[in-house]
Amino acid sequence: MRIFTILSATAMTALMTVAFTSCVPSVDRAWNDRVNTTFQTSSAWKPTIDTRADAVMVYGTGKTLEDRIASWKERGYKVDFMTGIAWGGYEDYFTGAWDGKPHLDEGQRKADGDTIWHGRMVPYIVPTKGYLEYFKETQVKRVIDAGVESLYFEEPEFWNMAGYSEAFKKEWENFYGEPWRPQDESPEATYLSNKLKYHLYYRALDEASSFAKEYGRSKGMDIKCYVPTHSLVNYSQWEIVSPEASLASMPGIDGYIAQVWTGTSRVPNYFNGVRRERTFETAYIEYACMNSMTAPTGRRVWFLTDPIEDGTRDWEDYKRNYHATFTAQLLQPGIADYEIMPWPQRIYERLYPKSAGSDEMIRIPEDYATMMQVMTNSLEYIPVSKNKVSGSQGISVLMANSLMFQRFPIHDGYEDPSLSDFFGMVMPLLKRGVPVGITHIENVGYDKALADVKVLLMTYSNMKPMDPEAHSRLASWVKAGGRLIYCGRDNDPFQSVKEWWNTGGFSHTAPSGHLFSLMGIGEDAPEGEYSFGKGSVTVIRKDPKELVMSPDSDTALVTAVENMYSASGGKLELKNHFRLSRGPYELMAVLDESVSDKPLETEGRFIDLFDPDLPVMTKIVQTPGSQGYYYNLDKAPKAPAVLASAGRVYEPLRKGRVYSWITKGPSETVCAARVKLPSRPVSVLIGGEEKLDPALWDEVGETYLIRFDNDPEGVRIAIRW
């Protein structure tokens, strides 16, 4: 018989002070050995928002910048800086306090003369040379002088509906060398106006980042510059212009934050004739879009999720959509850097409706906060993985920055409702369980951009190529064995804008004509399949929007993909789910509106990380329209180890049959943690008090569940078995 000795609280505390000589390898990791989680806040440190990420992005300068930086540094955080480049607390510039000249005329203006405001005295900005000087002098220099080495220039945004201010008119004349034209007068004026907006924010970021790096070098600092930005998908949906993919090769930009969350991903789109929210599917393609922007260049990208959103909804709505976006981001296995949340003060401290239709306003429910913190803390440990999402790999959709240039309600009777010319190529595949990817035409000059693509879908009904070189790369890829599906009627009014394919030495009526000519296909090639070298091209003479805006209209596209994929040596797998393993973490998403309404069933031993009670399950039944996030106990490290926790784990140590650690988390929240142990515990000390409860031991998973109030100062845990 094994004899157990239960130590008193005093004896256990004394034991924990011993300099232990061994530490069990586990998922626990010393804080700040690598910065891969961060969050943004305009607040100084407060116990209620101490999320325990690796870094914090202090937002905005104002009068308190240095004090706010100091407050977070005192708590051990790496402190970075974020500010808007298209808007911000720059009232001193607009009112004239900075240089004696008012600059409100530099706000973005609509056709009726109204300024587009982000807040009181905060207009969206036309980034003139004068504004950029102000930005560099008052924002960039001050932050670097405060000792910050990583700068985030957020949301370079120019609204499509803007373009009527005097400042913009001057920029037009300087850029095009001709008088300004109102963008609503013609498709060409719309295209040229938005192309200029794209250029202005490319210039702004180029100048700001170059200045930051040069000024930093003068002070012996290595400055990094990043751009937090929405996806190209979302900016096109919301009719906003931004540099997007072109920043991936800008010398001064070191990476991105992919700003994807419920607010961007719940924008309705069409599939099978129905327009509705499809948050998971849209988030999946948004993250894929952002990943592909930097993948060929090797630059860094963080993925953002938000447990709530800008719009006022109820807590149940927030939770449901948070599950969808969180799962979608983890289904990109090559990314393991995350902004775990924006604005923690609004998540933890503001009031929102308790449930749909309820008038009761409450702070974040205890169980939601616990679940959210389990999820965000897991991001410290989820690995980059070479595993692939289940399904047929190598199918991609081509995108271009010019998607943003054509977003205008109606020109000459042509419209693209809900960005359907894009989603018309994506949804028929994604809804059938095909993990479709994105390829940016701006990146096809990089070998990696097309290296793993077997079948590429494209259209010019909603975008146009910026230069002929991209066509040369695409033609070479097809000649070497690639399979291209071109879907479009080529009759939208933007085909005839004054651009490279119809000027200079070219006289093509549509840009596809140039691409087809490089592959020996007639410019006006009718629908059909054509060979070129070792590859082939399938032409479908429908705009992609026609495939999703009416029921049962996508068969031709799916059949073409099946045939092309078969010709590339594979068999297209159609199913109603996605799943992915990343170390011990299991991701599952089951689709509705798919090829089947059957649930996805999996047997094994799992911890449900979407449940604040962290239950151990032996069978998962994932139903259509839902997502799941699980810890696979059969892949857990050797005991003892903290496998899941709603607080950050520090100093995990083992001495004999005692395992101890410190947990830190935001005040006014509850920590739940599941701990793998060699055998049933005989003592559980939480904050020095004995809290053993035999009912919390799970024999199947050989784990013990603990719960206690979080404390940013730390709570000591010690378990003896």
pLDDT single digits (tens) 447-477: 899 999 999 999 999 999 999 999 999 999 9
Chain-centroid distance, C-alpha 144: 27
- The gap from C-alpha 483 to its chain's centroid, in whole angstroms, comes to 29
Is the pLDDT assigned to residue 13 strictly greater than 80?
no
Q: In a 10 Å sphere around its CB, with 0-12 CB exposed, 13-18 middle and 19+ buried, how is residue 523 labelled?
A: middle
Query: Residue 412: what pLDDT?
Result: 87
Listed in order, strand segments (DSSP E) in 508-610 are: 528-532, 535-540, 577-582, 585-590, 600-608
Q: What is the pTM of this model?
A: 0.94
Burial of 300 (0-12, 13-18, 19+ CB in 10 A): middle
At 146, the pLDDT band (50, 70, 90 cuts) reads very high
The pLDDT of residue 82 is above 70: yes
Task: Please tell me the predicted confidence (pLDDT) of residue 29.
Answer: 36
> 239-271: per-residue pLDDT in tens?
999 999 888 889 999 999 999 999 999 999 999
Bridge pairing between strands 648-655 and 300-304: unpaired
Nearest partner of 417 among 476, 461, 361, 468, judged by Cα:
461
Q: What is the C-alpha separation between 632 and 616, in angstroms, rounded?
A: 10
Side chain identity at residue 609, one-letter code: L
Residues comprising the chain, all counted = 721
Chain Cα centroid distance, residue 27: 25
Which residues, 6+ apart, have CB-to-CB distance to 587 below 8 Å? 327, 330, 331, 578, 579, 580, 581, 627, 628, 629
Helix H or strand E segment including 131: helix 129-135
Q: Which two tokens stand for residue 35?
A: 């910065």
Q: Tell me what pLDDT residue 264 has.
A: 98
Half-sphere exposure of 502 (CA within 13 A, CB side): 13
Q: What is the mean pLDDT of residues 34-59?
A: 96
pLDDT of the residue at 121 = 82
Q: What is the dihedral of CA 483, 488, 489, 491, to 10 degrees?
A: -130
pLDDT band for 19, please (50, 70, 90 cuts): very low
668, pLDDT greater than 50: yes
pLDDT of residue 330: 98
Structural tokens at position 341:
């949340």
The answer to whether residues 276 and 250 touch, using CB atoms and an 8 Å cutoff, is no
> In this predicted model, which residue has the larger pLDDT, 21 or 498?
498
pLDDT at residue 31 tops 50: no
Position 9 pLDDT exceeds 80: no
Q: How confident is the model at residue 294 (pLDDT cuts 50, 70, 90)?
A: confident
pLDDT confidence of residue 253: 95
Check pLDDT > 90 for residue 10.
no
Query: pLDDT grade, residue 17 (50/70/90)?
Result: very low
Q: Which carries the bigger pLDDT value, residue 151 or residue 34?
A: 151
Q: Are strands 78-84 and 55-59 parallel, antiparallel or unpaired?
A: parallel
* Helix (H) / strand (E) containing 69: helix 65-73
Q: Provide the 3-class DSSP secondary structure of residue 659.
A: strand
- End-to-end, the C-alpha distance of the chain in Å comes to 15
Max mean pLDDT among 284-298, 405-419, 621-635 falls in: 621-635
Specify the higher pLDDT residue, 5 or 314.
314
Nearest to 555 by CA among 456, 454, 428: 428
- Count Cβ atoms within 10 A of the Cβ of residue 185 and give its class: 0-12 exposed, 13-18 middle, 19 or more buried: exposed
How confident is the prediction for the chain on average, in pLDDT? Answer: 94
pLDDT for the residue numbered 49: 98
Cβ-defined contacts of 275-278 (< 8 Å, 24+): 275/417, 275/418, 278/427
pLDDT for 278 equals: 98
- Using pLDDT thresholds of 50, 70 and 90, give the confidence band for residue 15: very low
Q: Report, as an integer, the average pLDDT of 396-400.
A: 97
Residue 249's pLDDT is: 82
Among 8-12, 213-217, 405-409, 651-655, name the one with the lowest average pLDDT: 8-12
Would you tell me how many other CB atoms lie within 10 Å of the CB of residue 207? 18
> Is residue 63 very low, low, confident or very high in pLDDT (cuts 50, 70, 90)?
very high
Helical axes 315-330 vs 366-378, angle rounded to 10°: 10
- Residue 227 clears pLDDT 70, i.e. is over it: yes
Q: What b-and-e string marks burial along 48-58, b requiring 16 or more CB atoms within 10 Å of the CB? A: bbbbbbbbbbb
- The closest of 28, 17, 33 to 716, measured between CA atoms, is 17
At residue 707, the pLDDT reads: 98
Render pLDDT for 345-395 as a digit per residue (tens, 0 to 9): 999 999 999 999 999 999 999 999 999 999 999 999 999 999 999 999 999
Q: Which residue has the higher pLDDT, 296 or 402?
A: 402
- What pLDDT score was predicted for residue 200? 98
pLDDT at position 4 is: 28
Q: With contact defined as beta carbons under 8 Å apart, do 673 and 705 qualify?
A: yes
Residue 54: the pLDDT is 96
- In the predicted model, is pLDDT for residue 661 greater than 80? yes
Q: Please give the helix or strand (H or E) that residue 422 lies within, else none.
A: helix 420-430
Could you tell me the domains of the chain? 9-27+637-720 (no CATH), 33-229 (no CATH), 395-567 (3.40.50.880)
User: For position 16, what pLDDT does the model report?
Assistant: 36
Q: Residue 680 CB: number of other CB atoms within 10 A?
A: 12
**Which pLDDT score is estimated for 664?**
98
